């Protein structure tokens, strides 16, 4: 009656052994390390690693090992103080041609690594690092949309030979088009309805003017905001990858904010600089038909705009963007073979290449300018130099748009998919410009409105406290079960211990990120696992009180308690799934550990505990059982 077939015992044993193997790497901890990654123009090989080792030995910084793989080189240290000193030393030794970042490497033995065993990733609150809350400037999204629609309307009017007086961009992404008569306005309305269906049109009555106002529909506006947020998250994720951060967390918060968490990062200044910068390029033709001095004195010709070169010299450009950073698919820093000056090699997409080929082919001998655009956010200061605060007591921030012409060379020949940007001031500037362009321009500027740094020592304190809470809670439960249920309490304790092994093993297999809320989920799992065993043991007691034999009572206890256990765990699992779907970072961490814990509880409490009970009591006649 109380026996499993052999295959069921083997299945349980296989699952438990696999869980143990993949849970073991978490016992070995991590080594502080630095990682050295190549850029597009460099490579990390044995010679570079040897150079780093010599520099560390000269400085008296001891390291415990090195690793050279496809991603670059990693150097392990015994403590974080040596790690941070080594970071500064290696940066100075290698210069700007390499990315040097802090990292933590698992101390897992080689035999476990060969089996694919890896420890769980630790979240920001456990490992330490930096947390940013970023606000996306949606006003810029509307402005860009208005500029784009204004260009589209001009194109449509030209292609369909509809005469108009002026196309003017309004606030909120709206565009105003003026016509000479009602017939032209009506013709334009029909064309716009057919070609740009996301625009809502309305007539404006003015004396001797026929005006059509096009506004973005609410649905199209929501879509543009959603796209801007997603593109910014993608660009930020690419930039974080360039920083070499393992397991970053980049999540949407609300409709206009993004949370970025970088576990293990201690160089917060560089992270903040790279993440917050919005840099792109615009390619324009130089206006060589008009006088620059006249433009400087205030007589800027229509269709042109006055800019400044990096050295402060004025330059007049035609106010039409040929193509922009949106058309760039790759950017790599390098050196000009003739002048040995730093450059950035640009690769365009198909549309950008076609435009570049057509425009440069028609303008050989003329000059083409590369305009560098960056938007920076600063705290607004009063006349005394103190921050200006808003109603909520927070500093008011203002955005600055920096525009400068990097270079304006003469077009010597027709260009195509690839070209080079010259006129850069340093190798570091070439590297950073290539990084920003390669990662993708942000769809809208982002402003860091909240910044928190968690030190490694605080993270270790959180780990210690979390482990202490699990050990104390687990020990109290184990003692209670043995005292109250005797032998069947021991079985419940073994099942509970196996449950913890399986839970940690599965989290490690899927490389889940463990946070403080995740530890709370593990504690709740302990409580639910005990609850399942209590239900089973109380059911066995009830069957014994009803006069059933010990073997029949054990069988009925597990069979009849299964339905109640399943109902309780399934309803909790549904709640955990909802938390994961609709929650943010910490809530998701809690939901993941709780969900996995529910599944392992069902397995160990129903299958595992019964298998142990069958082995202990199932093969013999019993007068009574210790419960």
The string of pLDDT tens digits covering residues 41-91 is: 567 888 888 888 888 988 888 888 888 877 678 888 888 788 888 888 888
What SS3 state is found at 330?
strand
pLDDT of 459 reads 63
pLDDT of 304 reads 87
Q: What is the mean pLDDT of the segment spanning 413-430?
A: 76
Give me the chain's average pLDDT, please.
80
The C-alpha atoms of residue 203 and residue 271 are separated, in whole angstroms, by 49
- Spatial contact of 610 and 558, defined as CB atoms under 8 Å apart: yes
Residues found in the chain: 627
Q: What is the mean pLDDT of the segment spanning 267-277?
A: 62
Q: Characterise 128 by phi-psi region: left (phi > 0), alpha (psi -120 to 50), beta (else).
A: left
Contacts of 182 (CB under 8 A, 6+ apart): 210
Q: 189: how many CB neighbours lie within 10 A of its CB?
A: 18
Share of the chain above pLDDT 70, in %: 88
The C-alpha atoms of residue 562 and residue 566 are separated, in whole angstroms, by 6
| Residue 439 banded pLDDT, cuts 50, 70, 90 | low
Asked if residue 487 has pLDDT above 60, the reply is yes
Fold of 277-453: Gyrase A; domain 2 (3.30.1360)
The C-alpha atoms of residue 266 and residue 6 are separated, in whole angstroms, by 54
Question: In 440-461, which positions are buried (b, 16+ CB within 10 angstroms) versus exposed (e)?
Answer: bbbbbbbbeeeeeebebeebee
Fold of 139-220: Gyrase A; domain 2 (3.30.1360)
Q: What is the mean pLDDT of the segment spanning 439-467?
A: 70
- Spatial contact of 481 and 492, defined as CB atoms under 8 Å apart: yes
Asked if residue 432 has pLDDT above 80, the reply is no
Tens digit of each residue's pLDDT (9 = 90 or more) over 344-368? 888 887 778 888 888 888 888 888 8
Beta bridge partners of 240: none
Residue found by looking up tokens 């576990």 in the block: 263
pLDDT of 330 reads 74
> Where do the DSSP E strands lie in 128-208?
129-136, 166-169, 175-179, 199-206
pLDDT of 580 reads 82
The C-alpha atoms of residue 398 and residue 139 are separated, in whole angstroms, by 13
Domain coordinates in residue numbering, the chain: 6-25+455-617, 30-106, 139-220, 277-453
When comparing pLDDT for 182 and 235, which is higher?
Answer: 182
When comparing pLDDT for 278 and 421, which is higher?
Answer: 421
Q: Which of 31, 50, 28, 47 is nearest to 102 (CA)?
A: 31
| Residue 273 banded pLDDT, cuts 50, 70, 90 | low
Q: What is the mean pLDDT of the segment spanning 280-292?
A: 83
Tens digit of each residue's pLDDT (9 = 90 or more) over 577-602? 888 877 766 787 788 888 898 889 88
Q: Which of 31, 129, 45 is nearest to 86 (CA)?
A: 31
Q: Which of 348, 333, 507 is nearest to 499 (CA)?
A: 507
pLDDT of 265 reads 67
The C-alpha atoms of residue 262 and residue 184 are separated, in whole angstroms, by 57
pLDDT of 458 reads 63
Residue 462 burial (CB < 10 Å; 0-12/13-18/19+)? Answer: buried
Distances (CA, A) of 86 to 76, 242, 264, 269: 10, 20, 16, 18
Residue found by looking up tokens 């190798």 in the block: 427
Fold of 6-25+455-617: Multidrug efflux transporter AcrB transmembrane fold (1.20.1640)
pLDDT of 532 reads 85
Same fold, 139-220 and 277-453: yes
Q: What is the mean pLDDT of the segment spanning 187-208?
A: 82
| Residue 264 banded pLDDT, cuts 50, 70, 90 | low
The C-alpha atoms of residue 45 and residue 97 are separated, in whole angstroms, by 13
- Spatial contact of 129 and 261, defined as CB atoms under 8 Å apart: yes
The C-alpha atoms of residue 532 and residue 610 are separated, in whole angstroms, by 12
Q: What is the mean pLDDT of the segment spanning 510-516?
A: 78
Largest CA distance in the chain: 111
Fold of 30-106: Alpha-Beta Plaits (3.30.70)
């Amino acid at each position: 009656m109380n026996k499993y077939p052999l295959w069921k015992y083997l299945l349980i044993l296989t699952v438990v052994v696999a869980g143990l193997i993949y849970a073991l790497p978490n016992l070995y901890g991590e080594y502080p390390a630095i990682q050295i990654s190549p850029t597009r123009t460099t490579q990390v090989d044995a010679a570079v690693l040897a150079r780093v080792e010599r520099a560390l030995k000269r400085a008296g910084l001891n390291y415990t090992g090195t690793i050279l793989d496809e991603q670059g080189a990693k150097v392990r240290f015994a403590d974080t103080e040596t790690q941070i000193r080594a970071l500064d030393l290696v940066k100075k030794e290698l210069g700007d041609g390499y990315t040097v970042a802090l990292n933590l490497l698992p101390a897992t033995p080689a035999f476990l690594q060969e089996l694919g065993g890896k420890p769980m990733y630790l979240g920001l609150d456990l490992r330490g690092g930096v947390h940013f809350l970023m606000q996306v400037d949606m006003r810029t999204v509307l402005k860009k949309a208005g500029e784009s629609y204004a260009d589209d309307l001009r194109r449509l009017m030209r292609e369909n030979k509809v005469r108009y007086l002026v196309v003017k961009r309004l606030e909120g992404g709206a565009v105003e088009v003026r016509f000479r008569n009602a017939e032209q306005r009506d013709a334009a309305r029909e064309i716009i309805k057919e070609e740009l269906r996301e625009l809502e049109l309305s007539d404006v009555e003015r004396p001797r003017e026929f005006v059509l106002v096009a506004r973005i529909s609410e649905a199209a506006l929501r879509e543009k905001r959603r796209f801007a947020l997603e593109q910014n998250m993608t660009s930020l994720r690419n930039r974080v990858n360039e920083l070499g951060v393992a397991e970053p967390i980049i999540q949407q918060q609300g409709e206009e904010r993004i949370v970025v968490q970088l576990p293990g990062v201690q160089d917060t200044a560089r992270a903040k600089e790279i993440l917050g910068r919005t840099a792109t390029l615009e390619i324009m033709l130089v206006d060589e038909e008009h006088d620059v001095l006249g433009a400087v004195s205030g007589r800027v010709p229509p269709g042109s705009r006055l800019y400044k070169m990096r050295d402060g010299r004025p330059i007049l450009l035609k106010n039409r963007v040929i193509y922009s950073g949106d058309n760039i698919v790759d950017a790599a820093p390098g050196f000009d073979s003739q002048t040995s000056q730093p450059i950035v090699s640009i690769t365009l997409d198909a549309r950008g290449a076609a435009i570049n080929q057509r425009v440069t082919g028609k303008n050989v001998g003329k000059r083409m300018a590369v305009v560098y655009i960056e938007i920076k956010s600063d705290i607004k200061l009063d006349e005394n130099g103190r921050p200006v605060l808003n109603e909520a007591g927070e500093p008011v921030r203002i955005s600055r748009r920096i525009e400068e012409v990097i270079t304006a060379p003469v077009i010597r020949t027709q260009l195509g998919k690839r070209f080079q940007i010259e006129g850069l001031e340093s190798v570091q500037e070439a590297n950073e410009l290539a990084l920003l362009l390669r990662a993708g321009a942000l769809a809208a500027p982002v402003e860091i409105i909240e910044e928190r740094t968690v030190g490694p020592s605080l993270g270790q304190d959180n780990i210690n406290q979390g482990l202490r809470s699990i050990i104390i809670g687990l020990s109290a439960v184990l003692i209670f079960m043995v005292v109250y249920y005797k032998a069947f309490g021991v079985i419940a304790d073994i099942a509970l211990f196996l449950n913890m092994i399986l839970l940690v093993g599965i989290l490690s297999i899927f490389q889940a990120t463990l946070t403080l809320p995740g530890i709370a989920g593990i504690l709740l799992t302990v409580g639910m696992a005990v609850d399942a065993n209590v239900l089973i043991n109380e059911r066995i007691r009830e069957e014994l009180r009803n006069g059933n034999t010990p073997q029949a009572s054990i069988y009925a206890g597990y069979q009849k308690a299964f339905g109640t256990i399943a109902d309780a765990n399934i309803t909790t699992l549904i709640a955990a799934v909802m938390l994961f779907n609709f929650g943010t970072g910490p809530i998701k961490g809690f939901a993941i550990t709780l969900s996995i814990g529910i599944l392992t509880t069902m397995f160990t409490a129903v299958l595992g505990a019964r298998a142990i009970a069958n082995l202990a009591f199932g093969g013999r006649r019993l007068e009574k059982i210790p419960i």
